[in-house]
Amino acid sequence: MNIKYRPLKAFLLAVDTGSFTHAANQLGVTQPSFTALIQDLEDVLGLRLFERTTRSISLTSAGQDFHARVQRPIADLEEAYRGLADLAAVRRGNVTLGALPSTALALLPVAVGALRQRHPALKVRVVEAHNDELVAMLRTNQIEFAVGALAEPAPDLSFTPLAQDCFCAIYPAGHALGKKRGPLHWRDVLRYDLILLSQGSNARQQFDRAVREETGAPATALRYDVTNMGTAAGMVRQGLGVSVLPRLALPELNLAGLRAAALCDASARRAIGLLHRRDRSLSPAAQALAVQLETAMDEIARRLLPLPPLK
């Protein structure tokens, strides 16, 4: 049995309006075409659904039974179609995004704010985590996509670059680092007490990797581990040492009384982008958010320290 949606919809409209003529107008077809739809349905079912006269229509007993059975399923089907249409048109939807703390601080407020203006019904959940945790959550479907760094090759993940970022030395005004001529390198920072982001952070991973690769680097006298970038800046302001923070986050931090200088080592660079599983397509809501993230990054880039040449 091959029953199509359009004859069923014609049947329900005829019942609701009590007239083939009015039902045909609502369906947007001529009355002969509408009558043919009802006839096709009756032929498929092998039953007469309507008693018809020149002035009125009424349901047969079989028609009454069929109407009782088909009314709810068709309503559910139409609701399902409307729901999917809303998702496709980004009129509603949910998206869970993971983000590095530095990108969450600088990028997400701008992007999510713009998304809400354009698509107020969308709901966004943000999960801040270290880069390794973001990758693990992507692979286990805890988040749909992430703003992070591709620290190592991952064939199962797609990476769409947003920007090149670098790490910057943060030090008090008048500090010796500010008097150094020429480019600033990791080895210059290592001469001083350091206030570093905690183990597991992308910034700390790149710092530790760079220090291991340095030959003849001076030993750091003291290190403080902190979780929050604002805490690091506050400790630098108190003269407790020098910090190394992502360039992307600096416009959102309180750097009053402090100076920032970008490091010129290749190992102080990182690519920031959108990560998601290759075997899964982004939902329309996630695609809409990705567009706003790209736009926000373009706007934020104008306020960042210029990237130094690699030396």
Domain residue extents for the chain:
5-89, 93-302
Which stretch of 89-103, 213-227, 254-268, 292-306 has the lowest confidence by average pLDDT? Answer: 213-227
Work out the average pLDDT over 46-62.
86
pLDDT for residue 84: 60
Contact partners, residue 220, CB within 8 Å, separation at least 6: 190, 191, 192, 193, 194
Per-residue H/E/C for the chain: CCCCHHHHHHHHHHHHHCCHHHHHHHHCCCHHHHHHHHHHHHHHHCCCCEEECCCCEEECHHHHHHHHHHHHHHHHHHHHHHHHHHHHCCCCEEEEEEECHHHHHHCHHHHHHHHHHHCCCEEEEEEECCHHHHHHHHHCCCCCEEEEECCCCCCCEEEEEEEEEEEEEEEECCCHHHHCCCCECHHHHCCCCEEEECCCCHHHHHHHHHHHHCCCCCCCCCEEEECCHHHHHHHHHCCCCEEEEEHHHHHHCCCCCEEEEEECCHHHEEEEEEEEECCCCCCHHHHHHHHHHHHHHHHHHCCCCCCCCCC
For 84-116, write each residue's pLDDT tens digit: 655 555 565 788 999 999 999 989 999 999 988
Distances (CA, A) of 117 to 47, 162, 288, 298: 53, 22, 12, 18
Report which of 233, 261, 239 is spatially closest to residue 193, judged by C-alpha positions: 239
Question: Hey, what are 184's tokens?
Answer: 């600033």
Question: Hey, what are 162's tokens?
Answer: 């947003």
**Which percentage of the chain shows pLDDT scores above 90?**
44
pLDDT for residue 82: 64
**Which percentage of the chain shows pLDDT scores above 70?**
92
Name residue, tokens 């805490």. 231
State the Cα–Cα distance between residues 133 and 271, nearest whole angstrom.
17
In the predicted structure, residue 75 carries a pLDDT above the cut 80: no
Work out the average pLDDT over 162-170.
94
pLDDT for residue 253: 92
pLDDT for residue 247: 95
Work out the average pLDDT over 172-194.
90
pLDDT classification of 217: cutoffs 50, 70, 90: low
**Average model confidence (pLDDT) across the chain:** 87
In the predicted structure, residue 123 carries a pLDDT above the cut 90: no
Give yes or no for a contact between 268 and 276, defined as CB atoms under 8 angstroms apart. Answer: no
Give the burial string for 117-147 (b: 16+ CB within 10 Å, else e): eebeebebeeebbbbebbbebbeeeebbbbb
**Residue that wins the pLDDT comparison between 297 and 88:** 297
pTM of the complete model: 0.69
In the predicted structure, residue 147 carries a pLDDT above the cut 90: yes
Work out the average pLDDT over 31-50.
89
pLDDT classification of 252: cutoffs 50, 70, 90: very high
Which stretch of 154-168, 210-224, 248-262 has the lowest confidence by average pLDDT? Answer: 210-224
Count Cβ atoms below 10 Å from residue 155 Cβ, excluding itself. Answer: 6
pLDDT for residue 91: 60
Hey, which CATH number is domain 5-89, 3.40.1390.10, 2.160.10.10, 1.10.150.120, 1.10.10.10? 1.10.10.10
Hey, which CATH number is domain 93-302, 3.20.20.70, 3.55.40.20, 3.40.190.290, 1.20.1050.10? 3.40.190.290
pLDDT classification of 121: cutoffs 50, 70, 90: confident
Work out the average pLDDT over 115-136.
89
pLDDT classification of 256: cutoffs 50, 70, 90: very high
Work out the average pLDDT over 126-142.
92
